[in-house]
Amino acid sequence: MAQIIKLKFLGNVYELRAEDDDLDAEAVARYVEQVIASVEEQNSGLPPAKIMVLASMIMGKDCISARKELEAIKSGLSTKGGDLISKIEQTLGEKS
């Protein structure tokens, strides 16, 4: 079910329709607003287009960092899972 969310930044309000039920669109909107507000606050007087570019770069960096972290976690779990299976098989083999 689609939900309508309001995104407010740079003096404008945008109404967007979120079609993805698995996505917390409200949380995404608040995150985008927060990043844009932070860039705007730190760079007063910067044209809106440049604020948006900087905010996009920050959000992109955050996304890439989160993906790398997730991959590291997956890799660690895979390694630990394999080690655990080996230990279980070794223990079962010793009891036979």
User: What's the pLDDT tens digit per position in 44-95?
Assistant: 899 999 999 999 999 999 999 999 999 999 988 888 888 888 888 888 887 7
Query: What is the pLDDT confidence band of residue 22, given thresholds at 50, 70 and 90?
Result: confident
pTM: 0.74
Give residue 88's pLDDT: 86
pLDDT of res. 46: 94
Query: What CA–CA distance (Å, rounded) separates 94 from 75?
Result: 29
Q: State the pLDDT confidence band at 24, using cuts at 50, 70 and 90.
A: confident
Give, to the nearest 10 degrees, the angle between helix 25-42 and helix 48-95: 130
pLDDT band at 42 (very low <50, low <70, confident <90, very high): very high
CA pseudo-torsion sign 88, 89, 93, 96: positive
